[in-house]
């Protein structure tokens, strides 16, 4: 995370955001209710606590400043950074949103707010704030870094590379630019250039994890390659900075898995996950899914048969991450009348936007119950605008959205698009869960840190999918990953028929499709059907007792 902890303005009174008022004595003189120099000193003390990792002391100082000067933007900004670091996104957005409102043209605040939005995958909103930050201050390296990362994450690697090239000019001693370029090249399928960029990072910062993490993702390693020994040496070196260990563990685990050292790979994956921030709240998942089932019933859909838009253009591919959603989209996307739009955040954004289209905002599920037919059409049209822009063409009869966790929003999707196709990608529970645990996901995937939590989350997902099948009979096509890799043509034909397109042999040559791939499956979908993942869990069987228990197996 690249949040910026700003230096308080040096005796620049307006910059501190302190309100001014006339003195009681009149005469047009101005007085400050709080001594700005004392306020600045107090903020500097809080920042020292913050930088030293004393979060509670820093929070106490920042809140004390707000007691003296409500909505003081520096204190709000810094509290927002603290909240993001603690994984408390709701509080972070409250503080940072208020900070932007109080000082809307401060590039440091815009940078922090944009980065916070990006970390929870609200990429479009993030770009808006980060672009404002670099426009106001083109020399702020952190903003170029965060904007490049956000563009990489949102499927715009070419634009991301431009940001990283500008970052490299501002901060040539760092490795952030090369790390971003390596990821962008990997997403573009230019693996040799990605490997070159990764090696440049290692040469520049040999004790940093980012070079090895990027290198590990460029290809499959073979035994006795020197990088494996180098990563393990860094892990054993007491001088290696603590902040590097999580990345190094993931890099070492991937390399060990490649060469069949499964016990060592498990050890490294486990160590990496134990360093992750954020706690999985299984009880909250159960509560929220119960609320979904309470909202989206057969009666709900029967009463809203005239809601939404009748467009058949959107195709939604849902399922657990690592279940084969990328492969499904790539097969459909190879069809000349289809366009693969990738993982869109639009459905989640539209769920939030329901709050503006109902009389009273009472939370997402109650808002869905109170949404009018006009509101449903407004939201559906907003979604169609997004995919029209993504496809950049009227020739694509189908546009796929393969955001896996849209399995949580199938009811909402069905309300907006009663004729849209929905495909559910399924894979062996052990393989899916283990693969999630092996990924260095962002902080929104807290379930992936612990094998028992992954198992619990998988059971809740499966139960929710059973509900969608019950209330939307015949709307969802289940596709088993194992069937797809075992009988590619027959299963692919079933998929293409479901989405309402005529068969085309190009769907069997999906690996030749030139496109950006944003998931951990990036190199797998650039080759023919990849069968090695099926049954992969057996390599780790001796360690998977907690996962079996979580799955209820």
Q: How many CB atoms lie within 10 A of CB 437?
A: 26
Helix (H) or strand (E) holding 340: strand 338-340
In this prediction, residue 444 carries a pLDDT of 73
Rounded Cα gap, residues 45 and 34, in angstroms: 17
SS3 88: coil
DSSP 162-173: HHHHHHHHH-TT
In this prediction, the residues of the chain whose per-residue pLDDT falls under 50 are 1, 7-31, 516-520, 523, 525-526
In this prediction, residue 14 carries a pLDDT of 32
Q: Which residues pair with 318 in a beta bridge?
A: 424
- Using a CB cutoff of 8 Å and minimum separation of 24, what contacts does 387-395 make? 387/313, 387/314, 387/341, 387/344, 387/346, 390/339, 390/341, 390/344, 391/339, 391/341, 393/339, 395/337
Find out whether 246 and 276 touch, Cβ atoms under 8 Å: yes
Task: State both tokens at 447.
Answer: 């379930």
In this prediction, residue 187 carries a pLDDT of 87
In this prediction, residue 283 carries a pLDDT of 95
In this prediction, residue 533 carries a pLDDT of 63
In this prediction, residue 441 carries a pLDDT of 82
Task: State both tokens at 13.
Answer: 């009174």
What pTM was computed for the model? 0.81
In this prediction, residue 530 carries a pLDDT of 56
Residue 382's Cβ-side half-sphere holds a number of Cα atoms within 13 Å equal to 20
Rounded Cα gap, residues 444 and 153, in angstroms: 14
- Domains, the chain, with CATH or none: 173-275 (1.25.40.10), 295-551 (3.40.50.300)
Rounded Cα gap, residues 237 and 242, in angstroms: 11
| Closest among 297, 300, 327 to 525, alpha carbons compared | 327
Find out whether 437 and 451 touch, Cβ atoms under 8 Å: yes
> How big, in percent rounded to 5, are the helix, strand and coil portions of the chain?
65, 5, 35
Find out whether 312 and 499 touch, Cβ atoms under 8 Å: no
Residue found by looking up tokens 């196709």 in the block: 421
| Closest among 90, 144, 151 to 116, alpha carbons compared | 90
| Closest among 291, 499, 316, 479 to 413, alpha carbons compared | 316
SS3 479: strand
Q: Which residues pair with 480 in a beta bridge?
A: 426
Backbone phi, psi, residue 123, to 5°: -70, -40
Contacts of 536 by beta carbon, 8 Å cutoff, 6+ apart: 431, 434, 435
Q: What is the pLDDT of residues 129-148, one digit of tens each?
A: 999 999 999 999 999 999 99
Backbone phi, psi, residue 402, to 5°: -110, 40
In this prediction, residue 27 carries a pLDDT of 39
Rounded Cα gap, residues 50 and 59, in angstroms: 8
């Amino acid at each position: 995370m690249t949040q910026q902890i700003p230096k308080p303005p040096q005796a620049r009174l307006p910059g501190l955001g302190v309100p001014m008022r006339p003195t009681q004595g009149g005469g047009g003189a101005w007085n400050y209710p709080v001594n700005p120099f004392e306020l600045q000193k107090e903020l500097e003390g809080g920042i020292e606590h913050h930088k030293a990792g004393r979060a509670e002391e820093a929070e106490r100082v920042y809140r004390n400043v707000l007691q003296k000067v409500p909505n003081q933007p520096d204190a709000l900004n810094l509290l927002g950074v603290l909240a993001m670091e603690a994984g408390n996104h709701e509080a972070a957005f409250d503080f940072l949103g208020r900070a932007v409102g109080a000082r809307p043209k401060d590039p440091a605040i815009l940078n922090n707010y944009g980065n916070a939005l990006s970390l929870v995958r609200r990429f479009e909103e993030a770009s808006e704030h980060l672009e404002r930050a670099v426009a106001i201050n083109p020399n702020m390296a952190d903003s170029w870094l965060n904007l490049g990362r956000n563009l990489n994450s949102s499927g715009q690697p070419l634009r991301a590379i431009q940001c990283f090239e500008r970052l490299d000019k501002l901060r040539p001693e760092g490795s952030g630019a090369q790390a971003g370029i390596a990821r962008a090249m990997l997403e573009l399928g230019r693996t040799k250039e990605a490997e070159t960029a990764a090696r440049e990072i290692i040469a520049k910062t040999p004790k940093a994890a980012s070079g090895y993490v990027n290198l590990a993702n460029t290809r499959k390693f073979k035994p006795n390659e020197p990088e494996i020994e180098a990563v393990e040496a860094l892990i054993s070196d007491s001088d290696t900075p603590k902040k590097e260990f999580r990345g190094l563990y993931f890099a070492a685990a991937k390399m060990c898995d490649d060469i069949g050292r499964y016990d060592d790979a498990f050890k490294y994956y486990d160590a990496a996950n134990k360093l992750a921030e954020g706690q999985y709240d299984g009880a909250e998942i159960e509560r929220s899914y119960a609320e979904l089932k309470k909202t989206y019933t057969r009666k709900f859909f029967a009463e809203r048969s005239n809601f939404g838009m009748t467009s058949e253009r959107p195709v939604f591919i849902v399922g657990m991450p690592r279940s084969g959603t990328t492969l499904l989209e790539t097969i459909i996307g190879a069809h000349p009348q289809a366009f693969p739009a990738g993982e869109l955040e639009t459905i989640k954004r539209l769920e939030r936007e329901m709050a503006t289209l109902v009389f009273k905002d009472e939370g997402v599920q109650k808002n869905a119950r109170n949404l009018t037919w006009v509101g449903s059409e407004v939201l559906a049209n907003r979604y169609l605008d997004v995919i029209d822009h993504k496809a950049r063409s009227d020739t694509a009869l189908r546009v796929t959205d393969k955001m896996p966790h849209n399995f949580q929003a199938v009811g909402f999707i069905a309300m907006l698009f009663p004729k849209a196709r929905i495909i559910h990608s399924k894979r062996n529970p052990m393989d899916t869960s283990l693969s999630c645990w092996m990924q260095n996901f962002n902080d929104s995937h807290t379930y992936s840190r612990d094998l028992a939590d992954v198992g619990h989350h998988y059971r809740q997902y499966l139960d929710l999918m059973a509900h969608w099948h019950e209330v939307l009979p015949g709307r969802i096509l289940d596709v088993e990953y194992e069937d797809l890799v075992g009988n590619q043509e027959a299963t692919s034909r079933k998929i293409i028929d479901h989405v309402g397109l005529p068969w085309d042999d190009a769907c069997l040559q999906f690996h030749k499709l030139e496109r950006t791939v944003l998931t951990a499956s990036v190199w797998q979908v650039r080759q023919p059907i990849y069968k090695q993942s099926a049954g992969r869990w057996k390599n780790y069987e001796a360690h998977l007792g907690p996962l079996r228990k979580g799955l209820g197996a």
